[in-house]
Structure 1
Amino acid sequence: MNPDLNRLQPYPFEKLNALKATVTPPASLSHIALSIGEPKHTSPDFVKQVLMDNIDKLSNYPTTKGLPELRESIALWLSHRFHLGQDGVDPERQVLPVNGTREALFSFAQAVIDRSEKPLVISPNPFYQIYEGAAYLAGAEPYFLPCLPENGFIPDFSAVADDVWERCQLLFLCSPGNPTGAVIDSDILKDLIELADRFDFIIASDECYSELYRDENNPPAGLLQACAEMGRRDFRRCVVFHSLSKRSNLPGLRSGFIAGDDQVLSRFLLYRTYHGCAMPVQHQLASAAAWSDEQHVKTNRTLYRAKFDAVLDILGDCMNVSRPDAGFYLWPETPINDTDFAVQLFAQQHMTVLPGQYISREVNGFNPGENRVRMALVAPLQECIDGALRIKTFINGL
């Protein structure tokens, strides 16, 4: 077996299940889960209709490159959403459909890392655990940058030494951040692009939460947008990952895309052709419909704003918690250790949140996720309100 498999840590929810197994929650209370970032809003009816109308496409093999109409709908959306100008994105060379960002983020590292060079993969900390696993299985070492409140939960890239950048082959960004909701602004993105040129590494920007933002008039910037503002029409060394899971409440469709540097994408397409991970044709057609509509996305944002308003109104006077710029998570401090908080909350209130240390790593004796929990406001509004009230009761009883 591949010895690097032994370097993988259990997934956060495995750790959480083991933690919860030590206690019995009150049967009189229904379970409220704010631990998993699985959207619960209704999937768009028109997307489901396209899927059903094309179910006979099950008899067709899909191509790895994807249907032209899907790539064109993605390119149009990208160009409009991120102000990429008249030239925009080339759907033929600069867009590649993928089966959700999780699959693509992991496989991308396998394709681009040269394991003979003692490579580093740099990522935020806390982070989406796929970044770490992708690094290990590609033969690289992960290098974690803490996301701290004093820096707006954005990594301090200026503190990274040149010898680290020299070994870096892949930089994972997550903007808006999971779990912090922090958005990396365009100036920082431009600085990172210049670093990528100087030290010859690829930037992989995970932007799957980009459409869940607080201010309707101020959507988060993206990596390709920063490239366009620099006049960098080839998006050299830059790729972005997007998904319909959060944007359109379609996690079960397993549909997303990667876009950017065509030289990188052409090699990744070769890898994926052997990988055998083409998106089903009916999913591609449904995805094209989803990327072509914005009204359902605006409705989605409105629903999340209402939940943030209600939950923060309840928790604001009992926790150190703030509204994020984007995403659907809260990242509050806990009055006691985060794992103790999570297990006692489950034991007393039959409610699940995710300990912050389960999605972060200790570096030099410090874990930036410790004494925080991640709360995903994905449940219906009333369930989120009930959960916030249970948390407040629990904290007041400590």
Structure 2
Amino acid sequence: MNHNLSYLHPYPFAKMASLLADSSPAHAYPEIKLGIGEPKHAPPDFVLDVLRENLDKLCQYPSTNGLFELRQTIAHWLERRFFLHHVNANTEVLPVMGTREAIFSFVQAVVNHGDNVEESKEGSSANTSLDKQLPLVVMPNPFYQIYEGAAILAQAMPYFVPCTISNDFKGDYRLVPNEVWEKTQLLFICSPNNPTGAVMTMDDWEMLLRLSDKYNFIIASDECYSELYFTEPPIGLLQACANLGRHDFKNCVVFHSLSKRSNLPGLRSGFVAGDATILKSYLQYRTYQGCAMPVPHQLASVAAWQDEKHVAQNRALYQEKFVLWMTELGELLDLRMPDAGFYFWIKVPEQFDGDDEVFVKALYEQANIHALAGRYLSREVDGHNPGKGYIRVALVASVEESREAISRIRKLLSA
């Protein structure tokens, strides 16, 4: 077996299961799940219709780079959404089976050890082991755990940039030492961020692009929450490139998905777009990997990317729930409106000693509400875990369930 598997951390939900193993939920209440970021809004019927109408095409082997019709649709969507002059559907777009799988495999494809490969040590990270010759993958902290796991299994070392209230939960990349950038091969950015909801600005992107030019590393932008905004659509990495005249998207790729945008997590449909040179090699990797989207899924995806009406309706539902939570709980909880996304990143009340594990246990045992302890989404670096003292709440439940959850939380806080 790959010895690096032993260095992987348990997934956050496995940690939650262990935390609650000896607890019993408040049986007086039906369960409300706010811990997992799985969309619960209804998927668009017209997309499901296309899927059903094309089930006979399951008899076909799908090509790794997908149907031209899908690539072209995605290219046009990128041009409209991010004000891009031209996206080449043949060289700058690659459909994938969901961005989770694509993010993981992308790291395996792009990390280059050259002649310097040495064993990593259990529990170590580049923040504390800069003397190592392993390539570095820089990522925000807290983060989507696939970034870290993919880096470890590619035998690279993760370097964590803390995202705290002092830097608007975006991370201050100006504080990353030059010696880190010199060893960095890949930088992950999540904008809008999971779990904090922070969004990168044009100034933020320009700074990172200049660093990428100086140190020659790839920027991978996870933009799966980009369509869940409140007023202005967030600027994406490719849009920032275009604003700076970088129309070849050098060393830049983005990941997008229909899971959150269109409430289709089970369709496993997304795409990678950007630097054609990088995608050419990544396509070769995926050809050997043998991971291609079924043709019915591709045709359903075409319908989804071509329509914006259902996306606007989806945003409106999330906006309604955020307003409800802020109005009903804003005076009792330290609620901070995210820039985008569907998560609240909530500071634990003092009555729970600021302990995120204590708070999520209380929510479970006294209100039968599932939330996620913030420390499980981040790593301790130099004695500080930036997720500790926070919980993540996903506003994926219905408006009615949200009202019920708010009522239970009010009772819990006043007890």
Query: Under a length normalisation based on structure 2, what TM-score does the superposition of the two structures give?
Result: 0.94
d(CA) in 2 for partners of 1:72 and 1:2?
A: 39
d(CA) in 1 for partners of 2:389 and 2:407?
A: 20
Question: Are the counterparts in 2 of residues 115 and 138 from structure 1 also a CA contact under 8 Å?
Answer: no
Specify the alignment match of 2:66 in structure 1: 66
Specify the alignment match of 2:121 in structure 1: none
Specify the alignment match of 1:377 in structure 2: 395
Q: Residues 285-304 of structure 1: matches in 2 within 5 Å?
A: 285-304=299-318
Q: Secondary structure at the match of 1:331?
A: strand
Specify the alignment match of 2:122 in structure 1: none
Q: Secondary structure at the match of 2:346?
A: coil
CA deviation digits over 1:159-187, x for unaligned, max 9?
A: 11110000110000000000111000112
Specify the alignment match of 2:233 in structure 1: 219
When structure 1 is superposed on structure 2, of 69-78 and 383-392 the one drifting more is: 383-392
d(CA) in 2 for partners of 1:272 and 1:345?
A: 43
Residue type at the aligned position of 2:370:
T
d(CA) in 1 for partners of 2:142 and 2:265?
A: 22
Give the superposition deviation at 1:22.
1.3
d(CA) in 2 for partners of 1:228 and 1:305?
A: 30
Specify the alignment match of 2:79 in structure 1: 79
When structure 1 is superposed on structure 2, of 14-23 and 206-215 the one drifting more is: 14-23
Alignment: residue pair count: 393
Residue type at the aligned position of 1:153:
F
Question: Are the counterparts in 2 of residues 94 and 261 from structure 1 also a CA contact under 8 Å?
Answer: yes
1:315 to 316, 329, 336: 329
Question: Are the counterparts in 2 of residues 34 and 375 from structure 1 also a CA contact under 8 Å?
Answer: yes
2:215 to 199, 222, 235: 199
Residue 130 of structure 2 corresponds to residue 132 of structure 1: no
Give the superposition deviation at 1:301.
0.3
Segments ≥4 residues shifted beyond 2 Å: none
2:162 to 146, 164, 168: 146
Give the superposition deviation at 1:154.
0.7
Specify the alignment match of 2:363 in structure 1: 345
Specify the alignment match of 1:49 in structure 2: 49
Identical amino acids, percent of aligned pairs:
56
2:286 to 250, 269, 272: 272
1:120 to 133, 136, 151: 136
d(CA) in 2 for partners of 1:314 and 1:361?
A: 32
d(CA) in 2 for partners of 1:160 and 1:287?
A: 39
Give the superposition deviation at 1:360.
0.6
Give the superposition deviation at 1:392.
2.1
CA deviation digits over 1:16-69, x for unaligned, max 9?
A: 111111111122210111000000001001100110111000100000000000
Residue 178 of structure 2 corresponds to residue 155 of structure 1: no
Query: What residue ranges of structure 2 are gaps of 5+ in the alignment?
Result: 117-133
Question: Are the counterparts in 2 of residues 175 and 206 from structure 1 also a CA contact under 8 Å?
Answer: yes
d(CA) in 2 for partners of 1:2 and 1:246?
A: 33
d(CA) in 2 for partners of 1:12 and 1:60?
A: 37
Query: What residue ranges of structure 1 are gaps of 5+ in the alignment?
Result: none
Residue 200 of structure 2 corresponds to residue 179 of structure 1: no
Give the superposition deviation at 1:317.
0.8
CA deviation digits over 1:96-132, x for unaligned, max 9?
A: 0001110000000000001344101000000000000
Question: Are the counterparts in 2 of residues 121 and 171 from structure 1 also a CA contact under 8 Å?
Answer: yes
Specify the alignment match of 1:100 in structure 2: 98
CA deviation digits over 1:145-164, x for unaligned, max 9?
A: 01111211111011111100
d(CA) in 1 for partners of 2:396 and 2:309?
A: 19
d(CA) in 1 for partners of 2:389 and 2:207?
A: 32
